[in-house]
Amino acid sequence: MFNNIGVSGLLLILAIALIVFGPSKLPQLGRAFGDTLREFRNSTRGIADDAEPDDSSAGNDIKRLL
């Protein structure tokens, strides 16, 4: 998603955020964004783990049939 943003683009975004939100709110916004991203990552990891089939039980079923 952010593959095409270079260092200059990142500095421009940071400068605009600093102007809009001010220096006192910027650390709080960064912390909230990090917490949200971490929670989203944990949720998607949990969903992906539930969706993966258990290969060991499938192998045991095949062995029982043989």
With both helix axes pointing from N to C terminus, report the angle between 7-21 and 26-51 in degrees, rounded to the nearest 10: 120
Q: Calculate the alpha carbon distances from 44 to 27, 29, 33, 55, 57 in Å.
A: 26, 22, 16, 21, 24
Domain that holds residue 51: 23-65
The predicted structure's pLDDT at residue 65: 62
Per-residue pLDDT of the chain (66 residues; tens, 9 = 90+): 567 878 899 899 889 988 998 888 888 988 999 999 999 998 888 777 776 665 555 556 555 666
Domain-embedded: residue 6: no
Domain-embedded: residue 49: yes
Domain-embedded: residue 38: yes
The predicted structure's pLDDT at residue 37: 92
Class of residue 44 by CB neighbours under 10 A (exposed 0-12, middle 13-18, buried 19+): exposed
Domain-embedded: residue 15: no
Say how many domains are in the chain.
Answer: 1
Domain-embedded: residue 54: yes
